[in-house]
Amino acid sequence: MKEISIHVGQKIRLYRKMKGLTIEVFAGMIHKSKATVSKYENGDISIDIETLFVIAQALEVPVNQLIDYANEKAAAEDGVIKRHLGKSRYYMYFYDGRRNRIARNIIEVQDGGEENGVFDANMYAYLENFDNYYQCKLLYHGVMRRYDTFVNFNFENQNNKVERAFLYAINSFSHSGRMSGLYCGLSTQPILPACFKFVLSPEILEENEELKSELTVSKEDIKVLKKMNMFVINDHA
């Protein structure tokens, strides 16, 4: 299946770029030619298992991070929570006030391999569009934990291991599977502890004024903050 080779190649390119390695340098690290590495990344040729382990070692990632291909059509559809979270991919939005725009992100949860309600998860952050989310500006690895009324994510920034991102979302139990929550981590420019609102959806949302209003801090948010001395999110899904 060529799509598997393409998927693996895209993941290799992503991790190589995250580490700031040129094709020439990376090719030298795994003792392959630049042309061969280019074919690996484009999915033009399959990679043997020994070479795959060498590549993973050079990129300092587990092999399973390179071969996490999943057939989206096999996602479970029974039950509201399972229907929402059983999908391998869904969309996270927050409003970046520094750039005055809605920021696009994708969270990918691994189907299968669940242990005690814990799933492996990746977050591809700051996307220009959703067509190729491997062209992200920031990459996070971590886990998702699912409960009856809440879902949380713990992520480690692969670009900056200092940052740990924590996301808590309210399970709305709505048929849309859409959820609201809070993201806590480190901001950039300047690097400071930060917290902001986000919306999570199994489907791509229209980036309109209604979504922007849901993502920005409201007068009611400030009122509650002053009263309780804490930032609290109510589900608007």
Domains and CATH numbers, the chain: 2-65 (1.10.260.40), 77-228 (2.40.128.30)
At 82 the pLDDT is 39
Rounded CA-CA distance 94/107 in Å is: 13
Query: Two tokens at 3?
Result: 């799509």
Mean pLDDT (the chain, rounded):
85
Rounded CA-CA distance 140/145 in Å is: 16
Rounded CA-CA distance 156/18 in Å is: 14
Q: Residue 31: which region, alpha, beta or left (left: phi > 0; alpha: psi -120 to 50)?
A: left
List of residues 6+ apart from 134 with CB closer than 8 A: 10, 11, 13, 14, 124
At 234 the pLDDT is 73
Rounded CA-CA distance 15/66 in Å is: 9
For the chain, which residues score pLDDT lower than 50?
72-87, 237
At 189 the pLDDT is 72
At 168 the pLDDT is 94
> Please, are residues 29 and 37 in contact by the beta-carbon 8 Å criterion?
no
* Identity of the amino acid at 75: A
